[in-house]
């Protein structure tokens, strides 16, 4: 269980940072630099975030199955990856639950 929690912890932090980049770097840059070709480098952020979010979902599912959680709790933890700060909160609560 400890290795599953460690994998989830790493992915929650990475996914949270990528979500912050998506919300506060990519989205404003996309609309502020709309007519300029400078935003072509920003397209990497949502692509990387999408792939990492899929890995986050798998690690959340793994922790939930190993921890024998209810389906609702697993879904809430999975949804925590969609908001920038929520994945950090979910990570802290799960690490406290499984030290």
pLDDT above 70 covers a percentage of the chain that reads: 94
Q: How many domains does the chain have?
A: 1
pTM of the model: 0.87
**The pLDDT of residue 35:** 60
Q: Please give the average per-residue pLDDT across 5-28, as a whole number.
A: 92
Residues ≥6 apart with Cβ < 8 Å to 6:
none
d(CA 17, CA 27): 14
pLDDT digit string, tens, across residues 25-66: 888 887 887 766 666 778 888 999 999 999 999 999 999 999
Domain hosting residue 78, numbered range? 2-96
d(CA 48, CA 58): 16
């Amino acid at each position: 269980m400890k290795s599953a929690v460690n994998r989830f912890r790493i992915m929650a932090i990475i996914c949270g940072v990528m979500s912050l980049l998506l919300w506060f770097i990519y989205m404003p840059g996309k609309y502020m630099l709309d007519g300029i070709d400078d935003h072509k480098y920003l397209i990497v952020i949502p692509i990387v975030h999408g792939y990492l979010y899929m890995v986050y979902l798998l690690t959340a599912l793994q922790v939930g199955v190993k921890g024998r959680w209810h389906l609702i709790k697993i879904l809430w933890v999975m949804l925590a990856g969609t908001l920038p700060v929520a994945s950090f909160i979910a990570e802290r609560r799960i690490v406290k639950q499984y030290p």
